[in-house]
Structure 1
Amino acid sequence: MALETTKFDVQDFLKTPEEQAAYIAAALEDGDPSLIASAIGDIARARGVTAFAKEAGLSRETVYKTFQPGGNPTLDSLAKATKVLGLRLSVVAA
């Protein structure tokens, strides 16, 4: 009997603000800028990019281009995105 698999879509697991915050926290712990940008993009897509972009004061194109693997968000776009997510960036000693 062949092994059956199902398609995994992370957006199915980003429904609540708590799930979204945990996802971003895990990406921040890893420290990889590309992963952080991608995680924000995943949440933006889960919420709806058009609504997310409008609320953040960014264009849809900026959200798609910036918050993807390899994206390079500016501090301004990162601050706007985290504010929309109801999150606050902070710094702690490593």
Structure 2
Amino acid sequence: MTLATKSYNPFDYLETTEEINEYLNNAYMDDDPRVFLVALGYLARKQGMSEVARKAGLNRESLYKALAGEGNPRFSTVSRVIKALGCRLAVA
């Protein structure tokens, strides 16, 4: 018997800004930095990858690659994406 599965995007179930911030904070605290990049990718797709790329001054294809969790984007790229998403990175 084959088990049918569907793709899961956690941002489909996060409603409020507080829930999204909590998810991003938890992703950032993970020992694997790719978890945070993938979380940013989910948020960027939810807001529209083309629009986020435009706001960040990046090529859409490059943005997909940077946020796939496979690449190793520069901090400046991640910072531009965070700002384009309307988020702030804070160190506490």
With the length of structure 2 as denominator, give the TM-score of the two structures.
0.78
Asked if 1 retains the 8 angstrom alpha-carbon contact of 2:11 and 2:20, the reply is no
- Is 1:27 matched with 2:27? yes
Task: Identify unmatched segments of 5+ residues in structure 1.
Answer: none
Structure 1: how far apart are the matches of 2:15 and 2:43?
9
The size of the alignment, in residue pairs, is: 90
Structure 2: how far apart are the matches of 1:42 and 1:50?
13
Structure 1: how far apart are the matches of 2:16 and 2:55?
18
Structure 1: how far apart are the matches of 2:73 and 2:90?
17
With the length of structure 1 as denominator, give the TM-score of the two structures.
0.77
The answer for the alignment partner of 1:17 in structure 2 is 17
Task: Identify unmatched segments of 5+ residues in structure 2.
Answer: none
Asked if 2 retains the 8 angstrom alpha-carbon contact of 1:11 and 1:43, the reply is yes
Output the amino acid matched with 1:52: V
The answer for the alignment partner of 2:65 in structure 1 is 65
Q: SS in structure 2 opposite 1:31?
A: coil
